[in-house]
Structure 1
């Protein structure tokens, strides 16, 4: 596809000792899209992103960024990309402005320091030494340096770690603005709310393999919705309609369902007809966090069953 800016096909990465961190991963990211790469620790996110950034050559498969191999054509790709690492490692005694100017010296077509600091909300802290910045402010400085060269492709590794809620929301707004201006963004994050808020599409990695991808709505739709409420004392969950398949912990009830609207309607009819108040009634579709945790749990249980089966042979 002509609008594909990042592409991985059968991507593999092995380390000394034979450990394979990335095992046949394939996905693509379109121009002007925010794509989130998710996974538990050890899932292969960092190993995958390092291949996309051209920091290492894949052990197998193919990767393209802006139509080029980011490893063998790094000199052509690097000036067109911005990278925000988890930790920048800046000289602590330099001021914020001095740090940006130092970075500008090795950045093609760098924005003025004042402009980029204004973008990330650090203009008022321009004269402060790096060592005096809070953790969230350092992340903003990391982002400023990633944006210096007006990148076509932006890699963000845990971009809002350490930020307060206001800083996180401001950063999300900036990332959306960059996307709307045509920048392609690949994001890794442990904040699943962040991925749900920002990502146009996402992929979930587990043990080096891509197990699920799609829009956040498509991913959450693979998991059941839930209805929660508390029954009055003396009303057992066994009185609920059998079709609702409720699980109860005392008077607290949870119903997992693929038919949220129909089952909620049945529950409310029963409550009305029986005169039973439902305290704390809460009905909602699965969140990305619930879907993510379910996928990780399912994969772990599947691996455990495989090990048990192998052990009986």
Structure 2
């Protein structure tokens, strides 16, 4: 039997800049639900969820997350829900003497950053595993104390943290949290490549990150922009799972805008031509150590 690969689809993302480039980006809860269901029917076992206001502005509103999660739960489509917890974690500096926080700062305490995951109890939620420069000028705050508290809160709610690693140090942070007993196994890693503020999607980088993982960890990876589909093949070759979707890349090919379904079907084709097969949501739960929510 061929190896099973879990496909995750990041259906909308949290960028405002993409809205002017792609009019089809899912915005409202109903659009995000519909796009998620279509992606699942095309082969995605997991959907990674951000939410937006009706005009497309990225949002952190609990009621919008609730509408999406409830919409998926009320549908007849079996799919694993993965909620972003990268929200409300950044600071911006207006000056250095004295240090003054800028208007772009949205930092909240660790509990508030994962509150929607605690309340809605998806099967997975993301844990961006370190401090980094985010989008050029903003700084994402992921101190060990923050990560520790967020991981504990997620796991107490029965939610599996997906450890987002934008560079090697984030893997080491997660290993430290696992060694001290904060992160419970089996660990689930996601390599976030060519984002513009982390590791590039180079084959040697991907292999080195995989080789740095603790024994028994599950992992997947993705790359943004034109590197998205080549990275699907590289990840599958190295034994990982894949993520695609409009959050990471809006084009099917040069000049041709994609839908989430297009991107899932493209990734499925690559995976199957490489001799692997697509994991169902039930198989993904078993592989990743998840408990079905509904």
TM-score, normalised with respect to structure 2: 0.32
TM-score, normalised with respect to structure 1: 0.31
Pair member with larger Rg: 1
State the structure with bigger RCO (CA 8 A, min sep 6), 1 or 2.
2
